[in-house]
Amino acid sequence: MESDDLDPRKKLPGIVLGEDISALSAHELEARIARLEEEIARCRLEIGARNATRSAAENFFKR
């Protein structure tokens, strides 16, 4: 178990989908896009982990 597993999850400032972004500067919009891209990458990693677990389980029970 990694030490990160024991630390409480840090809550990042929330991005609300669909919120009004017209008042944000270009810099703020770029930061928002970067945050969303990080979240997409994190989600894709979790999907990969879930698929690997499912595949391993399917292979185990096919025997």
DSSP 6-62: TSPPPPPPP--TT---TT--HHHHHHHHHHHHHHHHHHHHHHHHHHHHHHHHHHHHH
The mean pLDDT of 11-37, rounded to a whole number, is 91
In a domain, 36, yes or no: yes
In a domain, 17, yes or no: no
Tokens of residue 51, six digits? 């698929």
3 pLDDT higher than 80: no
Work out the mean pLDDT of the chain and round it to a whole number. Answer: 87
The mean pLDDT of 32-55, rounded to a whole number, is 95
In a domain, 3, yes or no: no
Overall domain count for the chain: 1
